[in-house]
Amino acid sequence: MSRLLALTIAFLFALIAPSFARPFTDAGGRTVEIPDHVTRVLTAGPPASVLVYVLAPDKLTGWVREPSAQEKEFLMPAVRDLPTFGRLTGQGGTANMEAVLAAKPDLIVDVGTVNATYISLADKVQAQTGIPYVLIDGSFAKTPETLRQVGDLLGVSARAGELATYAETGLKTLNDGLAKIPAADRPKVYYGRGPEGLETGLAGSINLEILEAVGAANVAAAAGKGGLTNVSLEQVLGWNPDIILAASPKFAATAKSDAGWANIAAVKAGKVYTTPSLPFGWFDSPPGINRLLGVSWLEALLYPKAFNVDLKSDTKSFFKLFYQVDLSDAQLDSLLKGATPKP
């Protein structure tokens, strides 16, 4: 075969052959070859599951954990019964390589904190499976950027742009409003996790990130900087928060009725509220883009005079746009039960 003929064949092949990959630099500084057309995505942890669900539910291969019956009510029917593969990240990692391979994903996505531990895990899983694995910064302030970046990866840039614009508008409204609220008018808040309410987040904890975003004071920051930690009732008494946010309805009931909590300012003022949690947490659990709706809730709860929030309308709009679910009035009432002041 002549050199000219060989070059001609190579040229023609280049014209007709599909492009199988493109380089992508993730939040860990890793360059990963991504398929041009991603059709199946496996998520490494809960924040990634929420992100892929809202952007491209048809590409979601399954859940990190099976949604509860309550959660399924607020999800698209098409995704309610997807397989459960477990999680690759965190102390509760339950997925194994066989399950990952069985899902036959084109891409593995992890969203959240990015550090040496997560980078090492991504490298290890990618090497073992041969499946591209990308790390995405899940910082709340970067939500619009995250939506656009992952939307581009998944080939749904138009939808991602719509959701990112919603996020940008909401964050601008929040920050413009906060700029007018003096520090003295911002409440001191205690966020209690678990049925006893004695697990919380220290300063800088991703689990309290949204509280810091809305300008309120996390009283547990007095205990130092870090992630989640256990505290004592005596510490909470000493911090004397103006408002208590309870991740568990059981803790909310305890704080309102138990004599040990009675002398806290929040309890005296009747300002103990349950954080909405369906289908994903509005405040935490997971610390993903689901927290965007928590901004409207916290604006209405913490600064009712400073922000003009129609919480019920905002909630319906968010569910329709992000979760693609139409809420009934009864469902709306159940979502907000215990989360707002009584009329």
Per-residue pLDDT reduced to its tens digit, 209-246: 999 999 999 999 999 999 999 999 999 999 999 999 99
Indicate if the pLDDT at residue 12 is higher than 60. no
Q: Which residue has the higher pLDDT, 17 or 142?
A: 142
pLDDT of 13 strictly over 60: no
Range 314-328 average pLDDT: 98
Task: Compute the distance between CA of residue 301 and CA of residue 274 in angstroms, rounded to an integer.
Answer: 11
Tell me how far CA of residue 28 lies from CA of 148, 279, 326, in angstroms: 18, 29, 37
pTM, to two decimals: 0.90
* Distance between CA atoms of residues 50 and 73, nearest Å: 15
| Domain annotation for the chain: domains and CATH numbers | 20-170 (3.40.50.1980), 182-335 (3.40.50.1980)
Q: Where does residue 50 rank: exposed (0-12), middle (13-18), buried (19+ CB within 10 A)?
A: buried
How far is the C-alpha of 4 from the C-alpha of 39, rounded, in Å? Answer: 39
Distance, CA of 67 to CA of 61 (rounded, Å): 14
pLDDT at 8 over 90: no
Residues of the chain with pLDDT > 90: what percent? 85
Residue 335 has which token pair?
Answer: 């979502």
For helices 311-318 and 292-302, the axis angle rounded to 10 degrees is: 180
Backbone angles phi, psi at 339, to 5 degrees: -100, -10
pLDDT of amino acid 51: 98
Alpha helices in 105-156, H assignment, sequence order = 116-129, 143-154
Contact between residue 196 and residue 254 where contact means Cβ atoms under 8 Å apart: yes
Given a cut of 60, whether residue 4 has pLDDT beyond it is: no
**Residue 138 pLDDT level (bands cut at 50, 70, 90):** very high
Average pLDDT, the chain: 91
